A and B are shown apart, each in its own frame.
Chain A
Amino acid sequence: MIKKSMLFVLVILFFVFGSMIAYAATLSVWSSPDNADALFELAKNFMEKNPDIQIEVTPLSWEVLYPRILQDITSGAGSFDVSTWDLMTAGAIAPGFEDLNEYAKNHPDLVDTNFDDDDFIPIAKHVYGYWGEKRIGYPFYGACMFFFYRSDLFNNAELKNKFQTKYGRELTVPATWEEVKQVAEFFTKKFNPESPTEYGITLMFPRTHTLFYMFLNFFGPYRRSPEGIKKFGDVNLDWGDFFTADQKPSFNSEEAVKAIQDMIDLMKYAPDPLGSDYGETLEVFGKGMAAMIPQWTATLASWKDSPDLQPFAEKVKVTVMPGGTPVSGGWGVGINASSKNKEAAFRFIQYATSKEGDKIQWLKYRVGPTRISVVENPEIASDSPWVKEAYIPSLEKASHRPRIPEEPKLEDVFVGTLSEILLGQRPNSVETLNQIAEVWMKTLK
């Protein structure tokens, strides 16, 4: 009886610990859902080449990932080995992430000789990699917002004639927000019963971090104009376009009031902008109900098979955001300083951000490339010619959110008041924006 019991216990122990013994390391990789699909495939490829390493990718929603990372690095628990991180969280997470340059220097045997660090798009290398002098990640997911539009409608001869008659100019893809207003009115049934689409544009202005970055699409052109640079100074990549060169708020200005007015003027051509976020706007455009949409790179993948947008190559085209300074997004991938599997983690993140990994991400998952060689790759050029035409110029001129540790609080204060302005509960004025600036400066003290 005792022997049978011992045998039973041994069998149980074997199953419990057997899988752990089989691998030299099991990596826990956290990721937002945006990056997860690509990471699953990259992890699978890496494990095939490195059978001694097991990787578990855990997608966590954006709202959950950031607090989890912070809680883990603050406590030093080491619950994850590798994580992707949103670029504006760099300042907050930097203390808890491994300095990859130092690590590479101390472990030259682990450095991939084909990694080619100089191949990264320079701006991507900084914003998805550095906080100050510390390299906390490698660029994993390049992104900025683009302007997608129904090219079949813009090329339609009959519509072009009608537009010319009504507005006295040719129907072209808008290059400024003023032009967008006219075109959006033309394509909104409520204002033009002959419009082929219900709405001219879809916009997402919900009371979340979405509104924070959407604002930059409108403010960026003013901030980065010659007059804006003269008034506010150059943009610091860590403090972003919300600040002046000497780290004071730049948005409590007439320029921001004009930007917000542009947002207000466009709201009537969009379906429920204050109640719409990512999913809602994707759906409206995907069903062919809107003529234009500002959105992220990866949205192409969600529309490609949409029946109302076929043939896709003819119906949907991409251009630079009106104003020319789209908000930047994107993610880095780094190693938890408390990780107990740093060697395996370092090997994995080099593969995940390698030329091969970058190419797979774009071709299969429409995750924005971060490497120059991938952008210039003939296969990419023939698959998506706009990547070189629109993506690089957009990334280089992108407007940036702050990457400082206080960013989440600043963002929420800003979004709360901006949402009230858009609702009509508060006036769109420098005085109102000054109230936000006051809270910002108090927070930053």
Chain B
Amino acid sequence: MQTIIQRRKRIAFLMVLPLLALFIGLTIYPFAYMIYISFHDYSLVSFEPPQFIGFQNYQNIYSDLTARSSVSFTVFLLAMAVPIEIFLGLGIAFLIRDVFGERVFRGLLLIPMMIPPVVAGIAWKMLYNYEFGPVNYFLSLIGYSKVSWLGNHIFSRLGVVMIDVWQWTPFVFLVLYAGLRSIPQEIVEAGYVDGASGWNAIRHIEIPLIKPLIWVVLIIRSIDALKLFDIVYMVTFGGPGSSTHSYSFYIYKAGVSFGWDIGYASALSILLLLVIALLTNFLIRFLRLKEVLEL
């Protein structure tokens, strides 16, 4: 019996081994190398081997004005886009429930989420075109003058937020809609029997029941907002000035696009990872998700 169990364990291990090897080779090793290189001065254009410099790269982040402005825009995105997505997603989930044509609306609402972010970026860049873009055209129809979506400090930031909200509200909607649909109807009906009206039922019965899902979506969207890259790359390239330099975009620029400073880019990446890990842990504790998610 023991031999059979050991044999089965061995077979299971052998079957998992290729995937494990891939995981180590493509995830663990690069991650460990990234930590290692973040303590080195290593540039692709110098053709010199990496030089150990301790925490110098991390210290440089603190004095780097562009890094600081990229943090500022990333926080702006987090503060603006994520709450809008949560409210809109939740609102839409309630609105289309049991409405005529619900399935059709559901399908249509998911389309933005299915478009690759790079493609969405190209499309929105055309939509935001100052002279020929439809956004300015429709604004002109309601009496507004053309907006420089890509050339103005404030509008470029709002433009990026709008794209993010357009693309990821459907994700929030999908999760919360599924959550609403999974609420046992007996609980809601019991509330009606006890005198709860439509809005009271929503506020005191349904929303509390899907609160854990709302928090999970909040965490996921927050992490995604902190990592935003593709929309910035395709639409604004961080400009004008440093208005839309997201942190991830700056990592790309430092490591690949202009700096070729792999060591510095690695330090920036480690810092982002630490922030995401801390934020996630904080939110899980603060929102008491540990019990709900059985972590």
Residues of A within 8 A of B (CB): 63, 67, 70-71, 74, 92, 95, 206-208, 271-276, 280, 283-284, 289, 405-406, 408-409, 411-412, 416, 419-420, 422-423, 425
Q: Known: A207-B239, A419-B241. Contact between A70 and B148, CB under 8 A?
A: no
- Contact status A289-B131, CB under 8 Å: yes
Q: How many residues of chain B are within 8 Å of chain A by beta carbon?
A: 33
Instruction: Known pairs A272-B151, A409-B261; list 10 more (Cβ under 8 Å).
Output: A67-B256, A74-B44, A95-B47, A207-B238, A272-B146, A272-B150, A274-B239, A274-B240, A275-B148, A275-B156
- Contact status B241-A206, CB under 8 Å: no
Residues of chain A with a CB closer than 8 A to B236's CB: 207
Number of A-B contacts (CB under 8 A): 93
A273 to B152, CA, bound (A): 10
Show 5 A/B contacts (Cβ-Cβ < 8 Å), sorted by A.
A207-B242, A405-B46, A408-B260, A416-B241, A425-B153
- Contact status B240-A423, CB under 8 Å: yes
The 7 closest A-B pairs by CB, nearest first: A207-B239, A275-B151, A275-B150, A274-B151, A272-B130, A408-B258, A420-B241
A95 to B44, CA, bound (A): 11
Instruction: With both chains docked as a complex, state the minimum distance between the C-beta of A34 and any C-beta of chain B, in angstroms.
Output: 18
Residues of B within 8 A of A (CB): 44-47, 66, 128-132, 146, 148-153, 156, 236-243, 253, 256-261
Most chain B beta carbons < 10 A, residue from A71, A207, A406:
A207
Instruction: With both chains docked as a complex, state the minimum distance between the C-beta of B226 and any C-beta of chain A, in angstroms.
Output: 22
Q: Which chain B residue lies CB-closest to A280?
A: B129
Instruction: With both chains docked as a complex, state the minimum distance between the C-beta of A404 and any C-beta of chain B, in angstroms.
Output: 9
Q: Known: A70-B45, A74-B47. Contact between A275 and B258, CB under 8 A?
A: no
- Contact status B259-A284, CB under 8 Å: no
Q: Known: A70-B45, A95-B47. Contact between A206 and B259, CB under 8 A?
A: no
Q: Which chain B residue lies CB-closest to A273?
A: B151
Q: Known: A70-B45, A206-B150, A405-B45. Contact between A275 and B260, CB under 8 A?
A: no
A322 to B260, CA, bound (A): 35
- Contact status A274-B148, CB under 8 Å: yes
Residues of chain A with a CB closer than 8 A to B153's CB: 423, 425
- Contact status A206-B253, CB under 8 Å: no
Residues of chain A with a CB closer than 8 A to B130's CB: 271-272, 275-276, 280
- Contact status A70-B258, CB under 8 Å: no
